[in-house]
Copies of this chain bind each other. A is one copy, B any other.
């Protein structure tokens, strides 16, 4: 089978750090073009300033991976889907829930594959954690996701704008894991968002969720963490504690600790290839719904101005 000719749209940090190597390492895909108005692309690969330009003048593509900020994702995905091109959406899949529903409906009509990617679900510890938890009774969950925004999101002005999610940009990764591995659905009870006086998005959040059986799930998000970084989920069950650390790559169960190398984006592209081959889509808006609920339901407090 011929590899899927794919264009990478939006050449920021995630495209260069993760998508380029993952595409290069997957025989099912060939990189046909890169697209960005802010970038000159990479040697030997056609580069276009815009998706319009690619579709009008560029090499033919079967698929696009959209790595732009979420605020412009809808228009790009619509352009592609209208031509029957398969679409890989970086997380979050859009700036609103309703726009993702519209994209999903459009993909259904055109028969294209739409894939809302949640990379953290492909971290090494996540699938075994999910399997182990399937039959357990969960009594308590603690999510701690604290990182240094200056290290991980340098110069990303869009992330502080409405639709950019602020500290939920990493926090949604934790929610994508939790919604995937916990045996019961959960929802927000109460919470606080801290917004820097000069920004439109939160820099920290303390949230209390509750699962369908009443178990409490606390979430501590903070972008002001210097020194060691924390991306941990601790789940107390009737059979002991399940702990995911390092963003899901390290799993500790009562029986011991497993640690594998990072294969998140390799996993995502393998999944995208399967979806295309079998003519399906995979769009789970659950993690974004929990974030929208937090913006809807949590109390806001003003924090110190953030200057990069």
Known A102-B185, A106-B212, A188-B98; judge A163-B292 contact (CB<8 A). Answer: no
A169-186 interface code vs B (CB 8 A; 1 in, 0 out): 000000000000000011
Q: From residue A17, how far is it (CB to closest CB) to chain B in Å?
A: 26
Report whether A187 and B99 are in contact in the complex, using a CB–CB cutoff of 8 Å. Answer: yes
Whether A98 and B185, one on each chain, are in contact in the complex, defined by CB atoms closer than 8 angstroms, is yes
- Give A188-233 interface residues, CB cut-off 8 Å to B: 188, 190, 200, 212
Give how many copies assemble into the complex: 2
Which residues of B are found within 8 Å of A296, using beta-carbon distances?
95-97, 162-163, 291-292, 295-296
Q: Which of A44-52, A53-61, A120-128, A297-305 contacts B (4 or more CB under 8 A)?
A: A297-305
From residue 90 to 133 of chain A, which have CB atoms closer than 8 A to chain B? 95-99, 101-102, 105-106
CA distance A95 to B74 in the complex (A): 27
Residues of chain B lying within 8 A (CB to CB) of residue A290: 98
Interchain CB contact under 8 A, B292 and A187: no
How far does the Cβ of A269 sit from chain B's closest Cβ, in whole Å?
Answer: 28
Q: Which residues of the other chain, B, contact A186 by a CB distance below 8 angstroms?
A: 98, 102
A297 and B162 within 8 A (CB): yes
* CB-based contact A299/B162 at 8 Å: yes
A286 to chain B: which residues have CB within 8 Å?
98
Contacts of A299 in B (CB 8 A): 162, 200
A187 to B74, CA, bound (A): 10
Measured between beta carbons, the chain B residues less than 8 angstroms from A185 are: 98, 101-102, 105
User: Do the beta carbons of B162 and A96 come within 8 Å of each other?
Assistant: no
By a CB distance below 8 angstroms, the chain B residues around A99 are: 187-188
Output the least CB separation between A299 and chain B (Å). Answer: 5
A163 CB contacts on chain B under 8 angstroms: 296-297
For the complex, is A135 an interface residue (Cβ under 8 Å from B)? no
- Asked whether any CB of chain B lies closer than 8 Å to the CB of A289, the reply is yes
Q: Is A293 an interface residue (CB 8 A)?
A: yes
Cβ contact within 8 Å between B212 and A96: no
Q: How far is the CA of A188 from the CA of B190 in the complex (A)?
A: 25
Q: Could you say which residues of chain B place their CB within 8 Å of the CB of A162? A: 190, 296-299
In the complex, which of the residues B74, B105, B200, B293 contacts A96, with contact meaning CB atoms closer than 8 Å?
A: B293
Q: Given contacts A97-B97, A98-B286, could you give 10 more A-B pairs where the C-beta distance is less than 8 Å?
A: A95-B297, A96-B293, A97-B289, A97-B293, A98-B290, A99-B188, A102-B186, A102-B187, A105-B185, A106-B212
- The interface of chain A, by Cβ under 8 A from chain B, is 74, 95-99, 101-102, 105-106, 162-163, 185-188, 190, 200, 212, 286, 289-293, 295-300
Closest 7 CB pairs of A and B: A98-B187, A96-B293, A292-B292, A99-B187, A295-B295, A295-B296, A292-B296
